[in-house]
Amino acid sequence: MSGSHCQQMRVGVRRPQAACSLRATPRSAVVRASPSRSLLRQTSSSGSRKVARHALMEPESRKATGNNTGSSSSTDNVGKALARGDKGVLTLNRVPVLYTSSVLLPTEEDTFHVEDPHYVDMFESVGVSGVFAHCLHGVSAPEAMRINENAFDRVTMRGPGISVGCLAKVTKIEHLSGGMKVSFKCVRRCNLVKYHGVERSIFPLVDVAWQDDTDLEEVIVRESRTEAAAQYIQYVSEAEQTLWSCLVEIERLEKALGHTQCALPDSLLEVAPPEAKNKFPSRAVAEMKIWLGAVDKKRPPSVNANVARDRLQGKEGKKMTPYEEIGEKSYKFTRQELFSFAAAALVAERTEERIALLASNSTKAKLEWALSAAKPYMEQLRTEATMYSAFNNRS
């Protein structure tokens, strides 16, 4: 990806096309930012998008059988699978599916204003902490994919949309006049194994399977020499640390230059790499560095650490986030995968880019992709900061 892409910051969600499932509110627009716009500007925390009445989410005529068989029990099974930390190809029971005009990535959060009675019923059935699959509707798929469904590796058309999406967990439901507002977090990437439509429910259902990154595990299996595997894992860890340091530096520079809404999003902080502790020659030097703002951004202890500490102290364990629910055993590699998605989501704007990221099974590739955008932007900010400082010193 060219370095110039860093100037095309994603500061909003795509405006859905008229034939698609969501109507845009004023915030739902894409603007191409000037170089002074923030890489870290987020919009997912405010506003909402509307799920229109009679929206085109389901191409078949809805069969209002009044039978919701499989919907609530399937979400319970998905929750249990998350808690077990199952990885690889795991076919789950049927879950509700929502097709929209946007490609969402794991760790992203969003809010829908639901008006269609069928989807009000769907989210009533799912409930808070329940899960559903989110996928791009075929109407909004790139033209190349509509002509040739195999235009993207590991992505095809299945049912009314693409075959890869995210498993989303409902975090809040607010009932409104004529509908509801549903907030959710994309927890994990999934592959749609089979589309069932509305055969057994008044809303569409799908069978899903996890789709996790495989590059780290594959290199361990493929490389008979443990040194080669260790070098690959070390490279990924170093790339992750470099990208994290770059994003922290961008946040600091944007703040110094007076940018607004320049804070790193919480969704990124939750999966950021553990930072190495800075060692200073004395306490005085350490305090001076803190006062000057030269110390890297501090993050709170991980939720897993809090749970373990509380258990040792006989306290009730702190509730885990959806990411830690994936499981302790696989958390390291899964956290790196989620971090690569969270970082890429800051700059991925076009639908084609987001589909490619969602289809990629390489944590390394996603980290490098995000770094190729973040580094030039960081250097640009450094130049602006130097010029700004020189101007102030002269005056």
Residues 113 and 149 in one domain: yes
Residues 191 and 81 in one domain: yes
The answer to whether residue 132 sits within a structural domain is yes
Q: Which whole number is the average pLDDT over 109-127? A: 92
**Among candidate residues 162, 189, 212, the one where a domain is terminated:** 212
Task: Identify the CATH number of the domain in which residue 173 sits.
Answer: 2.30.130.40
CB atoms within 10 A of CB 252: 18
Residue indicated by tokens 């971090």: 339
Residues 292 and 203 in one domain: no
pLDDT of residue 308 exceeding 90: no
Cα(255)–Cα(260) distance, rounded to whole angstroms? Answer: 7
Predicted local distance difference test score (pLDDT) of residue 137: 93
The answer to whether residue 168 sits within a structural domain is yes
Predicted local distance difference test score (pLDDT) of residue 48: 55
Residues 95 and 232 in one domain: no
Q: What is the pLDDT of residues 59-82, one digit of tens each?
A: 333 333 333 344 445 455 555 444
Residues 327 and 202 in one domain: no
Cα(49)–Cα(98) distance, rounded to whole angstroms? Answer: 13
When mean pLDDT is compared over 105-114, 317-326, 383-392, the highest value belongs to 105-114
Cα(101)–Cα(136) distance, rounded to whole angstroms? Answer: 6
Q: How many CA atoms lie within 13 A of 315 on its CB side?
A: 9
Residues 121/182/193/222 CA torsion (nearest 10 deg): -160
Helices 363-394 and 226-256, interaxial angle, to 10°?
Answer: 30
Nearest CA among 298, 292, 246, 293 for reference residue 276: 298
Q: What is the pLDDT of residues 34-60, one digit of tens each?
A: 223 344 443 343 345 555 333 333 333
Predicted local distance difference test score (pLDDT) of residue 370: 95
Residues 222 and 179 in one domain: no
Residues 155 and 299 in one domain: no
What confidence tier does 9 reach under pLDDT thresholds 50, 70, 90?
A: very low
Share of the chain above pLDDT 70, in %: 59
The answer to whether residue 28 sits within a structural domain is no
The answer to whether residue 169 sits within a structural domain is yes
**Number of independent structural domains in the chain:** 2
Residues 173 and 81 in one domain: yes
Distances (CA, A) of 260 to 27, 63, 264, 332: 17, 49, 12, 33
Cα(179)–Cα(181) distance, rounded to whole angstroms? Answer: 7
Predicted local distance difference test score (pLDDT) of residue 290: 57
What confidence tier does 318 reach under pLDDT thresholds 50, 70, 90?
A: low
Residues 74 and 204 in one domain: yes
What confidence tier does 225 reach under pLDDT thresholds 50, 70, 90?
A: low
Question: In what helix (H) or strand (E) does residue 208 lie, and over which residues does it extend?
Answer: strand 205-210
Residues 200 and 221 in one domain: no
The answer to whether residue 128 sits within a structural domain is yes
The answer to whether residue 299 sits within a structural domain is yes
Distances (CA, A) of 111 to 129, 166, 193, 363: 14, 15, 26, 27
Residues 247 and 124 in one domain: no
The answer to whether residue 23 sits within a structural domain is no
**Among candidate residues 184, 212, 240, the one where a domain is terminated:** 212
Q: Which residues contact 100 (CB under 8 A, 6 or more apart)?
A: 16, 20, 21, 22, 57, 134, 135, 136, 137, 140
Residues 245 and 173 in one domain: no
Question: What are the DSSP calls for 244-270, one per residue?
Answer: HHHHHHHHHHHHHTT-SS-SPPHHHHT
**Among candidate residues 212, 241, 257, the one where a domain is terminated:** 212
Q: How far is CA 225 from the centre of its chain?
A: 34
The answer to whether residue 301 sits within a structural domain is yes
Distances (CA, A) of 102 to 105, 165, 190, 308: 10, 10, 16, 38
Nearest CA among 104, 93, 174, 173 for reference residue 137: 104
CB atoms within 10 A of CB 57: 24
Residues spanned by the domain of 92: 49-212
